[in-house]
Each structure stands twice: as structure tokens, then as C-alpha cells.
Structure 1
Amino acid sequence: MAQDQARNEDFRLLRSGLPERTARAREARLRRDFCLTREDVMGLVRAEWPEFGPAELDALVGRGRLDWRLVDGEQRFLRSCVDSLRLYPAEVPGLACPPADRTAQLAVIEEMRREGAAERRIRLRHLIRAGAGVEVAAGSTVRAWLPLPSGSQVADVRIIDVTPGMVAAPEDAPQRTAFWEAEGVREFFVEYEYLIRAPYVDLWVPEPVPAALDARFRPAPAPCAEDLAEEEPHLAFTPYLRRLASRVFDGIPVEDGLARARAAYDWVTRNVDYRFQPAYLLLDSIADGCAHSLRADCGVFALTFIALCRLGGVPARWQSGLYVTPERVGNHDWAMFYVEGLGWLWADCSFGSAARREGDEARRRFYFGNLGPWRMPANSAFFSPLTPADEALRNDPFDSQLGEMCVDGRGLTSYDFEVERTARFLP
């Protein structure tokens, strides 16, 4: 992995075949995401762990715990790399690692097991604002997109309040958004309510029983050819992934889709560790890269699981949006997979890997087949256009979570706009 990372990024841009506009954006983003020098990293860690030095830094790099690139010939680290280190206190004992409080999460899991499902009605307010450094003149054309709830686990979506002029994408849009086009407007918001239902199924018993259907919720569309296909570049069926899949599914009949999906989930959650990632614009072939590095964030986890499932003949899809709790709202990605007789099910390999890291096998198993109700799904496909399509280069071309803004034809990055998101759980 160190050799892969040590390739000069400028050389990678020249040989990548990217459109010139994308290549320029990628280089600019590289410099902003990978902005910490070795001295910066050591200073951040030494503030809590004075004994930390160059040898310890090199050891963490060698074990793939620190993400870095060559920028102008100098080793530069991802701005969030120290936060990734906190997840592994045994390797960095001098860094503070507050224990995660899983009380509420475990209570929801128990509720789902006991009741067969969990439901929540959530009111969410989402605002996007051009940053102070962005000029928005009175006659500037500003376009903005914010995600809206969509998916088979969502029903009764109600728009409560909104910046005037909003146009909602159809409910079946692969990336459902609220859209505005206005002159001289710096911020846009939407406030909505939705009902989300999280059904429960135990996929670890000899004969799993399908989750009960609910007429208030539309079933997910039936599997199609695309759910088994490769999608270049990030879901490409590379030779390495093909060899890995042959090992993962060795001895498992192709007809046993559940066993094959379980094998894919087991491999990913037992072998891949969480690490914050740069903007996906800077990643090449995501599933293949994860299989090599064994490092991922939630979206990389999901794409790797989807790739393995498809290689194993199991239909699989992307789903993403927001993780919504009473305390916070954050971006999150997960996967769906299809098993004959059980229908579409969910897999959250990021949460499953965290459970393995914390020694909670029951929780790891739960996230194979299930999600909790603390979600706002908005996207059912990866790398799909918005509605209407954004002609500028998007901050996140892959899905819609933070939102997007474009001023006079220039797409803003997350360094150029601000986002505020708040949620309330309703009776």
C-alpha cells in the first residue's frame, strides 16, 4: 500500500484519462484534503502524547493507519488522519479515545428484535449557505440542491417549510433532491417530516423468516441486470477482486444467495478497518482499492460489499443519505442485497466493522440484514445525476448528502459552502 501511495499524484493525473476540468479540480482538492506535513501530525499527536516521534509515525504509516500522498514531492497527510488514529487506542495509547456510548443504539436493536420493526417520525431541517469567501452578486445565478427522503423504508414525506421556488425531484429519482435556481440568493433550506420503518429479520438462524410487509411503504423495485453488473471505475470487477471473490465464495453454491451475501459481509466486516477518507474525487477504483488497503469509510465499505456480492451472483444496490439521531445528523452510506424468498435486505458494513472492533458479535450480526430507524435515505444509486443535472463539477459527484451549490456556473466545494442540519423526533 505504501508503494501505491508513494506514486506522484501529478503523474497519476496525467495518465488517468480524466477530463481536464476534473483533473484540475482533483489536483486542487488534493492540496486541500492532504494538507498536514509530518511535523503537523507529530505536533497534533504530541499535544496529547509527548513521547510520540518519527519512528512511531513511520510505524503507523507502515501499518496503513495514516493516509498520505505526495504533494509537490513532499509527504502530506489527510487533515482527518489523527481522528482515524483515535479508533485504535492499542496502537496509539497516548491519544484520547472517548468510549462510544451504545446504550441508545442497543435499545433500538432490542426494540426491533422484540417488536419485529421500529418506526420513527422525524422532522429534519437542512440549510446550505455560500461561504463568506464566495461572492454572490445581485445578478448572480445560484443553483442549489438538498437531499430529500426516498426509499422503500420511507413513507408520508411532508414538506413543512422551504425557501420559495423549490422544485422536488420525483420520488423514484436515483438521487432525490430539492432544487432551486435564483438570482443573488446566498442560502436555501428545506424542512420536512417523514416516517421511517426499520423491519427486523434474523439472517443467522437456519431458516430466516421474511420481515412483515407494511402497506404504507412501497416495496423496492425488483432486481434487474444492473444489480449484478460492474460499474467502472469504482465497481469495476478487477482481476484482484475476482480472485478475492473466488476465495470468499469457495465451496458455497451459487444458488445459495444468502450464504454468499453472508460470506461477503463476513469478509468485509472482519478484515476492513475504518479510516476517514479524502473526497472520493481523489480515489481511483474504490472497491479494488479497499480490497488492497483494507481501510474504508462507510461508502467504501458499502461499495466493496456490493462489488463482492455482484461477483458472487447476489444482486446488490447502493443506498445512502443521512444518519439521524436525537443528538446529531451526519452523512452515511450502506448497501442493499437481494435474497430469493426474503426480498431486499440491508447491510451496514461500516457499523458491522465497528462492532467487530469493539468485540460485539451480536451487534455485528445485526447489521447484516437490518438497519435501525435512525436514517434518512435519499440515494438509491451511486454516481447518478441530480435533478436537474448539474452542469458544473459537483462537490460530490457520487451521491447527494451535504447538498450542492453552483454560482454563475462554478460548482462550490465543501470548503466554499456551509451546511446546517437539525432533527427532531416526533411522537
Structure 2
Amino acid sequence: MIYLFKGRREMQEFMTIVLPKNIELLISRGEFNKAIKIIKNILLSRKDLNPMEKKRLTYEIDRLIRIRYDHPYSFDEALNILRKEIPNISENEFKKLMEEKCIDYKIIEGEERFYRRFIANLFFLCPKYIEKSVKAKERIRKRKEYRKKLVETLNKIILSGEGYRNSRIHKVKMTIKVKPNSVPEGEIIRCWIPFPRKCLLQPEWKLISAYPSEYFLAPEDYLQRTIYFEQESRGSKPTIFEIEYEYKVQSYYRKISADVIQEYDENSRVFKENVLEKPPHISFTPYLTRLAWSIVGNERNPYIKAMKIFKWIIKNIRYAYAYDYSTYLNISEYVARNKRGDCGMQGLLFITLCRIVGVPARWQSGWYANPESYGMHDWTQFYVEPYGWLYADPSFANSLTKTMGEIGIFYFGNIDYYRLIFNNDISVQFTPEKKYFRSDMIDSQRGELEWNEENLYYDKWDYEMKIELKV
């Protein structure tokens, strides 16, 4: 059962609808064209479909198109691209890497089609190949240098004392450009750009400028906060949306004593809202339920339960770039079964396993906003009495623990000051609501656009984010 709370308008209930078995079989074989044809026939001929069934079938067409977009390369194209990184790799070695699941590909319409970020994932999944790359040496040097600086930052945060401290002000400029001829001239383009939500970690924000000048800004505690614009398409010229703002962000560090952890008030709102399933990606499946209880065993202390789950993830899950989130049927189970996932996927697994064993947990995301190196990032929070909401960033802990030792466990309970938060939940309808399926059905980090006839997927527009430290 899905419980709806104020401000939590769910988007993906329809994904609980199971597709007809003949369609599922075709998709599993990579016969997308046949599957899409059957779906279209069902949508045209079946008058007894309820709204959820119609939505599920319609979305499946979109999902298959997105999978194709994520896998643009043929075998020969992928091999030639990889040879620019590893010049001496043979065709047989490439095929062996495919067999070992070090190369991401799918069979689509009888042809091997390769994921657009398959090279980066090769180095994550089979790191010995980094040494063979002609370009990797400089990347490795920069990564080591960056991690060393990050460890210095974490030690500084620890020494500064407990609680929310070390406040900074970041200045951000985000620009979205709809590509020429993506929307007919004069048609209205609707644009949602992520915007900082007010919370303990970032208590203040200030909008400096916005283009166009008319906009709607969602309430500052909205769970997936955006600033909304409308603008006429410029046809053969780019159509531009742009915002500039400042926000205050802090670090958080707390020494936790497991001995003082208290039992939950199971009638409290914070407990009820944050131990529920939220299908399809936070689902208490038999597989995940067995896994969760096998990790925590007979442990009753909520803090130690969460720690055991966190440590299991950083020990067992390898970091790898994700396909478009909207193409997964159940992210948390995918990560648990395949032992791989990016920051948000590891976060969803942590949330799901915590909720299964009765520990309230929730999503938090936006950008990792270190002015020296920034990008989209997801992490989580979990709740224990008497401390309240604590932070958990399994992917950062995963990376640091494997390279810099025990300092990585800082990210269980604590957080650095390089965060820009837009979201505190997944799959929440925007305000105003979007008419068509979002490009990202789960998160909200770079923007969403549509016009009267369709959603504008990522191939129709570009974005640029600039972050600098002001104070």
C-alpha cells in the first residue's frame, strides 16, 4: 500500500502494473520494435484499460526509446572508441571483457549496442585496465590529489567541533539552452530548474537574477524544489533559461554514542513517513527483505542496524555509472543483485534496507558543490533518537575507504560543506505539475522541459552549471 502525505504527490505508482508476459518476453530478447507495436495496438484497441494501465503501457514505449538512446554504439564503433584509450586492445580481448561484464552493452534488435559511458565503467568494474589507458595517468594523479584535499577538509571539520559549523556562501549560475529547431517557433516551452530548498544544512538562499523575469518559485520546503518558467520558442535559434543565486551551506559532524540510542515513537510522523515502501524503487521485495535481515541479524539498536547496512554496501557494491534512472524497474534490487551502482543507486539501496528493518531513512540530493570539482550527486539521511536526522553518503565512503582508509566512515552520520540540496525525496510531482513524463522520473538535478506536444528529453537541450565560493 502507498500512503500519500501532503507535499508527496507520487509519480510512479503506475510502475507497479505488470506488463503482459508476451511484451515482457519481447523486451527481454531486445525486440523493442515488436514490443512497441503490440503496446500501441493495445492502447488503440482496448477500451477497458484503466488510467494506471494506460500510463504504464505508454511509459514503456518511452522507456524503450530511452534505453536505445543510452546505447548509441555498434560493436565496431565501441571497439574503435576504446582503442583511443587502449590502443593495443584486440577484438578477442574486447569480447572477453563483454563476457566478464566489464563492458556494458545490450542486445537490441539482434545487435550488440554499447552504453555511452562504457569506457568509464570498464575502469570502475575492471580497474586493472586503467594502467593500460594512455589517458588515465593524469586522471589518476588529479583524483589522488583531490582525495588528499578532501581528507584534509574532513579532518578540519572534525576538529572544528560538533553540530552545524563552517558556513560558506556559494554563488551558482545555471543556464539551460534548448537546441535550435527542437520546438516550433512561437510555441510555449515550459521549464523547471532545480532550486535550493531550505534545510538545516543550507539554511539561507537568495535569488539574484532570473531569465525570463517572470517565474514561479516552489515553497522553500518543497521536497523537490524548482523555479518554473514559460517562454516562447525561438525556433531556429537557442531558447535560453537562466538563474543566478547564492546560498549558505554548512558541514555537520557529531560524535554518536550507540549506548544512548532510544526506541522510536512509531506513531510519530517522522517514523510513519520514512519507513514506508515507495514503489518501484523502494520496495520490500522478498530478496531485499532477506538481505536486510541477514545483514542486521538480531541487532535491535537502530543506529547499529544502519551502520551494518552502510558498511555492507561500501564493502560489497562497486561504483559504476548508471543508465538513465527512468529505465530501471527497481533500482535498489538491481544494485543488490548486480553489486554495482552509482551514488543515487547506492543511496536507494541504503534507504530501502534501512526501512525494511525499521530505521527511518530518506533521500537527499542536488550537487556536490566543491568549486574545484562539482557535479550531480545523491546521498541519504537516517533518523535515530535522540540525535535526529543524520547523514549517510555510501558512495563517497565507498571511494574514500578503498583509497584513503578509515576516514571514509566520516560519511556515516556526518557530511561536508560541499553540498547543494534541491531534493529530500524521490519522484515527487513538481509545482506546477508536468504534463508529460519527466526525463528523470526519480531525481531533479539539471532541469526538466516540455512543450504542448511532448517532453523535451536530454538530446533536445544542454545545460551549464557554474559554482564559485563567495565567502
Fold shared per TM-score above 0.5 = yes
Kindly state the Cα deviation for residue 322 of structure 1 after the two structures are TM-superposed. Answer: 1.1
With 58-67 and 102-111 compared, the bigger mean Cα shift is at 58-67
Cα pair 1:9 1:69 within 8 Å, conserved: no
Match of 2:97 in 1: 60
Using a 3 Å threshold, how does the CA distance of structure 1 residues 208 and 78 change in structure 2: closer, same or farther? Answer: farther
Structure 2 unaligned regions, length at least 5: 1-26, 40-51, 262-267
- Name the Cα RMSD after superposition: 2.4
SS of 1:399's equivalent in the other structure is coil
CA distance in 2, matches of 1:60, 1:106: 34
SS of 2:458's equivalent in the other structure is coil
CA distance in 2, matches of 1:8, 1:292: 21
Cα pair 2:258 2:304 within 8 Å, conserved: no
1:154 aligns with 2:154: no
Cα pair 1:201 1:208 within 8 Å, conserved: no
Match of 2:231 in 1: 182
Q: What amino acid sits opposite 2:398 in the alignment? A: S
TM-score (norm. length: structure 2):
0.81
CA distance in 2, matches of 1:65, 1:174: 36
| Per-residue Cα deviation, 1:315-371 (whole angstroms, up to 9, x for no partner) | 00011111112134311111110111121011111111112332x232320111122
Match of 1:110 in 2: 155
Kindly state the Cα deviation for residue 51 of structure 1 after the two structures are TM-superposed. Answer: 3.3
Map 1:286-301; keep pairs closer than 5 Å: 286-301=331-346
Using a 3 Å threshold, how does the CA distance of structure 1 residues 182 and 60 change in structure 2: closer, same or farther? Answer: same
Residue among 83, 91, 94 paired with 2:132? 94
1:353 aligns with 2:406: no
Match of 2:17 in 1: none
Using a 3 Å threshold, how does the CA distance of structure 1 residues 344 and 234 change in structure 2: closer, same or farther? Answer: same
Match of 1:214 in 2: none
Match of 1:223 in 2: 270
Cα pair 2:104 2:121 within 8 Å, conserved: no
Match of 1:122 in 2: 170
With 230-239 and 127-136 compared, the bigger mean Cα shift is at 127-136
Residue among 71, 80, 103 paired with 1:43? 80
CA distance in 2, matches of 1:414, 1:31: 13
Kindly state the Cα deviation for residue 418 of structure 1 after the two structures are TM-superposed. Answer: 0.9
Structure 1 unaligned regions, length at least 5: 210-220
Between structures 1 and 2, the one with greater helix share: 2
Match of 1:8 in 2: 30
1:333 aligns with 2:373: no
Match of 1:145 in 2: 192
Kindly state the Cα deviation for residue 90 of structure 1 after the two structures are TM-superposed. Answer: 1.6
Using a 3 Å threshold, how does the CA distance of structure 1 residues 93 and 38 change in structure 2: closer, same or farther? Answer: farther
CA distance in 2, matches of 1:9, 1:106: 48
TM-score (norm. length: structure 1):
0.89
Percent identical: 29
Q: What amino acid sits opposite 2:442 in the alignment? A: F
Cα pair 1:258 1:339 within 8 Å, conserved: yes
Match of 2:179 in 1: 131
SS of 2:466's equivalent in the other structure is strand
SS of 2:283's equivalent in the other structure is coil
Match of 1:420 in 2: 464
Match of 1:312 in 2: 357
Could you say which structure has the larger radius of gyration? Answer: 2
CA distance in 1, matches of 2:397, 2:95: 29
Q: What amino acid sits opposite 1:230 in the alignment? A: E
Cα pair 2:123 2:129 within 8 Å, conserved: no
Match of 1:217 in 2: none
SS of 2:72's equivalent in the other structure is strand
CA distance in 2, matches of 1:124, 1:72: 43
SS of 1:153's equivalent in the other structure is coil
With 222-231 and 385-394 compared, the bigger mean Cα shift is at 222-231
